[in-house]
Structure 1
Amino acid sequence: MLHRLIESMTDRFQDDSVGVLCATMLVNFTNWPESGDEAADFGDTELETLVDHFKPVLETFGIHVERIPDQWTVLKVLMYQEPQSLQKMSWFRVNRGHQQSCPDLLALVDLVLSFPASTAECERGFNTMKQVKTDCWSNLKSDTLSDLLIAQLSSPEIREYDPIKAWMLWHKDSVRSRKPDFMDCAKRVIAVESEESDEEV
């Protein structure tokens, strides 16, 4: 059992000089060769690693993975024809200029660029889950817990939250009338807010 645990830990925290993490170096323009002559085989191995790793995800979203190697070759040729130095190039500009010629490759690049730089977001999620799923609420179903976490993590700050829209939706979707004068009150609140905003302007 201990041997299997060590193997799992080794696989999980593998050396960053090999594997998928190392293969992401090809999206950093500072790692590209200075001349096009040296770039003939640049990134081919890394690209193959990334395609193999993300193939199920890419195919799910309709990306033609078999076209990616050819598009990689085309993109390298196009990039070295650019008048601007590669060191100053950005993937935003590449996407804007070569989306038509290399759509599948650029989808893979976007996926790689979406890697989080740290685990801070995950840690915030776990901390929020501890606050939501307390001892008193330990029997929450997965769907309920997921909904509560989404509301907690995605909602704006309480000072910025405008409850009027939620009230309107709650009142409108009711099968039977909730409060006869609710809509009139809501309209008055909106009117007052609009008057205040006009005065500020």
Structure 2
Amino acid sequence: MSSRFSDITDSLLSASSLADLKSWPDTFDSEFGADKLTAITDHYREFLTDRTDIELDLIDQEWMSLKTKIYNSHKPSELSWNVVWETYGETHKNCLHMIDLLLTLPGSTAECERGFSQLKIIKTEIRNKLSSSTVSNLLTVQLNSEEVEDYDATQAIHHWLRVKPRRTRHLERKLTTLTAKDDNDTVYVENETELQDPALKATVEDSDSSDDSCYDSEESVVSSDYSDCDIDI
């Protein structure tokens, strides 16, 4: 184990202890974290030089100021990085971006294992022609979505209806009673129930002009495509 993690004392792995506020000293130490922050900056320097929102020259200065303010107003072990960001993010964003990089490092391979398990469920022998982008999107949904019982689909439904024209005319009315066919084999509706959701109704009404394939403009006419409806002849 020692040979496998021989660089644990002077590497990014050691510097990652900065992200644990409970491991900070009880009292202010001007030298605390300076070398570790430098190791983090050096490790990610190639990536950070392409970022226009991070000024590397200000990181050390901001780090000293951030430590001073935290110890003057708080007890580090009782804080969270969300609170630190909300309180000092505007004036210390460069050094806090370094902490964010540490917080993205996985603590174990459990998340990877969950990803492999979900991949086997999604991409089966029957669905072996799924594209990489589709698999990636499905995995994102599976791994990051809320539980089914906690999920509110209203926003997703409205988005689905807005992104492009849909054949949603059939959602506008619920057929309750149908009369017999006339001489042209057309079925007429006697009673209708309006859609209850106002937001969905407004979306459906917007699409009425582009889809009149199932209803006549003057009276509600259901085409013979609705062969599964109960018809009282």
TM-score scaled by length of structure 1: 0.67
- Matched residue type, 1:66: D
Where in structure 2 are there 5+ consecutive unaligned residues? 175-192, 199-233
> What is the CA distance between 1:127 and its match in structure 2?
0.6
The answer to whether the aligner puts 1:68 opposite 2:59 as a matched pair is: yes
Distance 2:168 2:75 in 1: 66
* Aligned 1:118-197 pairs, distance under 5 A: 118-161=108-151, 169-175=159-165, 178=167, 180-185=169-174, 188=195, 190=197
* Aligned 1:53-92 pairs, distance under 5 A: 53-59=43-49, 60=51, 62-80=53-71, 82-92=72-82
> What is the CA distance between 1:52 and its match in structure 2?
1.4
| C-alpha distance 119-187 of structure 1, shift in aligned 2 (>3 A) | farther
| C-alpha distance 29-124 of structure 1, shift in aligned 2 (>3 A) | closer
Distance 2:33 2:152 in 1: 50
Secondary structure at the counterpart of residue 131 of structure 1 = helix
Instruction: Work out whether residues 58 and 108 of structure 1, in 8 Å CA contact, stay in contact via their aligned partners in 2.
Output: no
Aligned to 2:13: 21
Aligned to 1:199: none
Distance 2:82 2:127 in 1: 45
* CA displacement, residues 101-158 of structure 1 (integer Å, 9 cap, x when unaligned): 3221112223323433333222211111111111222232211221222333344444
| C-alpha distance 188-159 of structure 1, shift in aligned 2 (>3 A) | farther
| C-alpha distance 51-173 of structure 1, shift in aligned 2 (>3 A) | closer
Q: Which has the higher strand share?
A: 2
- Matched residue type, 1:52: D
Distance 1:43 1:93 in 2: 19
Secondary structure at the counterpart of residue 96 of structure 2 = helix
Distance 2:194 2:143 in 1: 30
Distance 1:31 1:15 in 2: 20
TM-score scaled by length of structure 2: 0.59
| C-alpha distance 137-14 of structure 1, shift in aligned 2 (>3 A) | farther
Where in structure 1 are there 5+ consecutive unaligned residues? 1-9, 192-201
Distance 2:96 2:129 in 1: 44
Distance 1:47 1:190 in 2: 54
Question: Paired residues, what number?
Answer: 176
Distance 1:99 1:18 in 2: 28
What is the aligned-residue identity percentage?
31
Instruction: Work out whether residues 75 and 102 of structure 1, in 8 Å CA contact, stay in contact via their aligned partners in 2.
Output: yes
Q: Which has the higher helix share?
A: 1
